[in-house]
Homo-oligomer: A and B are copies of this chain.
């Protein structure tokens, strides 16, 4: 419950998703699931380090899962959106929509 009664409910915005890069990752995964690390690098334009960090953050809250395997002899991380992540994404969209429409 909000302490006041705000008509712009910014508390409803999930900060874990809201961060710009994580938002991009989630948006992309909502359409393409799973996606590889290099694919996300390319689509989001992030640096390796930054992508790695934010994937860890999304994984820590259970919105994605990183499946570390191999494509031939090269290591390949596949990033999956989890059920919980998809739920959170839907909630985020709903919250943003009601905020934007006031």
Contacts and interface: CB of A to CB of B under 8 A. Distances in A.
A78 interface: no
A28 B7 CA distance: 7
Q: Is the interface of A mostly helix, strand, loop or mixed?
A: helix
Interface string A1-21: 011111110110101001011
A44 B100 contact: no
B28 A6 contact: yes
Interface of A: 2-8, 10-11, 13, 15, 18, 20-21, 23-25, 27-28, 30-32, 42-45, 93, 96, 99-100, 102
20 contacts: A3-B31, A3-B45, A5-B42, A6-B32, A6-B42, A6-B43, A7-B28, A8-B43, A8-B44, A10-B20, A10-B21, A10-B44, A10-B45, A15-B20, A18-B18, A27-B100, A27-B102, A28-B102, A30-B102, A96-B100
